[in-house]
């Protein structure tokens, strides 16, 4: 069973912020939220993860709601190279838990 | 540079033949995984291994086999019992948070 729900597709204008939502209403207390992206015909790339606090790195920001039932990945200034499929994953620390990838959100950045 | 190497990038085989996909990592990661991806779909877990000489079936293990004799290597064999083997195969490894993926092998069975 899928642990997360994401919109199948989104568009974003180049240079604007891309906000990708994810619902994970059944998340348990020791599960993290992970985000990956996959550019066409390549392996997925890890972006960011968080438990309950908001997180930021050089690629993106992750905002997790207080009840932890949903999150948003923010790409602050989207470029054409950000066009990809984005996967939201919920799991325990990945070494000890198999990870389920759903269909993700296909983000198209428009010039 | 550390990473995961999958070879070959493209592979063609005749129906009924077994084929082995290579996956090697030099990241010193304990856990390794094999996923299958069909066009427009997410990733489906075939097999995973958390330590050497141990592995578990994923959601779609039928028709596949693996071995984990060395920490660095996790080869996947697609047997003739796999009914629809044509797909994009991805290998990954992890230690703690986050997976590192290889660049994938695209298998076409004709």
**What digits encode the pLDDT tens for the residues B2-15?**
799 999 999 999 98
What percent of chain A lies above the pLDDT cut of 70?
Answer: 95
Nearest to A93 among B29, B35, B97 (CB): B97
Q: At residue A93, does pLDDT exceed 70?
A: yes
Quote the CA–CA distance of A75 and A61 in Å, as a whole number.
7
What residues 71-110 of chain A have any CB closer than 8 A to a CB of chain B?
87, 93-96, 98-104
For residues A1 and A103, the model is more confident at A103
Instruction: Name the pLDDT band for A41 (thresholds 50, 70, 90).
Output: confident
Joined tokens for residue B106: 């695209």
Q: What is the structure's pLDDT at A96?
A: 61
Mention every residue, 6+ apart, whose C-beta is less than 8 A from residue A106: A8, A9, A10, A84, A85, A86
**Residue A81, φ and ψ in degrees, nearest 5:** -70, -10
pLDDT mean over B62-66: 97
Instruction: Name the pLDDT band for A7 (thresholds 50, 70, 90).
Output: very high
SS3 string, chain B, reads CCCEEEECCEEEECCCCCEEEEEEECCCCCEEEEEEECCCCCEEEEEEEEECCEEEECCCCCCEEECCCECCECCEEECCCCCCCCEEEEEEEECCCCEEECCCEEEEEC
What percent of chain B lies above the pLDDT cut of 90?
Answer: 84
pLDDT mean over A86-102: 82
What residues 10-39 of chain A have any CB closer than 8 A to a CB of chain B?
32, 34, 36
What percent of chain A lies above the pLDDT cut of 90?
Answer: 80
Quote the CA–CA distance of A103 and A95 in Å, as a whole number.
22
pLDDT mean over A2-29: 94
Closest chain A residue to the Cα of B103, Cα to Cα: A43
Q: At residue B81, does pLDDT exceed 80?
A: yes
Q: What is the structure's pLDDT at A102?
A: 86
User: Are the beta carbons of B69 and A6 closer than 8 angstroms?
Assistant: no
Q: What is the structure's pLDDT at B20?
A: 96
B47 contact residues in A (CB cutoff 8 A): none
Q: Pairing between strand B76-78 and B19-25?
A: antiparallel
Q: Most distant CA pair in chain A: distance in Å?
A: 41
User: Are the beta carbons of B87 and B21 closer than 8 angstroms?
Assistant: no
Q: At residue A38, does pLDDT exceed 70?
A: yes
Alpha helices in A6-55 (DSSP H): none
Cβ within 8 Å, pair A98-B103? no
Quote the CA–CA distance of B89 and A72 in Å, as a whole number.
29
Closest chain B residue to the Cα of A43, Cα to Cα: B103
DSSP code at position A104: -
Instruction: Name the pLDDT band for A99 (thresholds 50, 70, 90).
Output: confident
pLDDT mean over A58-77: 97
Residue pLDDT, tens place only, B15-40: 889 999 999 999 999 999 999 999 88
Q: What is the structure's pLDDT at A92?
A: 85
């Amino acid at each position: 069973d899928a642990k997360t729900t994401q919109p199948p597709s989104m568009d974003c204008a180049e240079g604007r912020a891309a906000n990708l939502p994810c619902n994970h209403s059944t998340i348990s207390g020791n599960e993290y939220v992970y985000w990956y992206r996959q550019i066409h015909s390549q392996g997925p790339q890890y972006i960011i993860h968080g438990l309950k606090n908001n997180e930021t790195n050089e690629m993106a920001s992750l905002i997790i709601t207080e009840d932890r039932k949903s999150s948003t990945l923010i790409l602050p200034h989207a470029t054409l190279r950000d066009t990809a499929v984005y996967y939201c994953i919920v799991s325990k620390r990945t070494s000890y838990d198999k990870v389920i990838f759903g269909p993700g959100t296909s983000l198209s950045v428009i010039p | 540079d550390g990473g995961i190497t999958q070879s070959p990038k493209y592979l063609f085989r005749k129906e009924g033949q077994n084929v082995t996909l290579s996956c090697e990592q030099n990241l010193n990661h304990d856990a390794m995984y094999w996923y299958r991806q069909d066009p427009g779909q997410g990733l489906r877990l075939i097999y995973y291994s958390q330590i050497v000489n141990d592995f578990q079936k994923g959601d779609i293990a039928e028709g596949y086999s693996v071995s984990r004799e060395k920490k660095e290597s996790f080869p996947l064999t697609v047997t003739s019992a796999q009914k629809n083997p044509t797909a994009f195969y991805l290998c990954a490894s992890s230690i703690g948070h986050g997976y590192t993926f290889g660049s994938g092998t695209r298998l076409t069975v004709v």
